Amino acid sequence: MTARRFLIVSALIALSVAAPAGCATSETRGIGNEGFAVFDVQPSDAEVWLDGQLVGKAREFTGGSKVLMLQSGTHKIEIKKEGYAPFQKELYASSGVKQTVSARLTKVSQ
């Protein structure tokens, strides 16, 4: 391989490795591995919503093996139950970090 060809190949490899790192899309939320959240919520049968999607009841994510896995990045958490004022929180998940979301929902007067 000639020196010129070697330089061209090396430059192309360097560009192909570096280019994706700078190309963010609107769907990029973060980098790295998953973090997780546990919930300390009353009432425990309140629904947990992650980024607008229902993921389960709060009692399903209380710790141990019962955790909510989160991609690295910022997420919107909502906790809802009919007859109660909703709870909202934004949290940033990072690799391997456990976060506890605590909420006591208050009843709404009829």
How is 2-32 classified by DSSP, letter by letter? -HHHHHHHHHHHHHHHHHHHH---TT----S
pLDDT at residue 19 tops 80: no
* HSE-up (13 A, CA, CB side) for residue 38: 10
Domains recognised in the chain with CATH numbers: 35-103 (2.60.40)
State pTM to two decimals. Answer: 0.68
The mean pLDDT of the chain is 80
| pLDDT tens digits, one per residue of 27-75 | 334 445 789 999 999 999 999 999 999 999 999 999 888 999 999 899 9
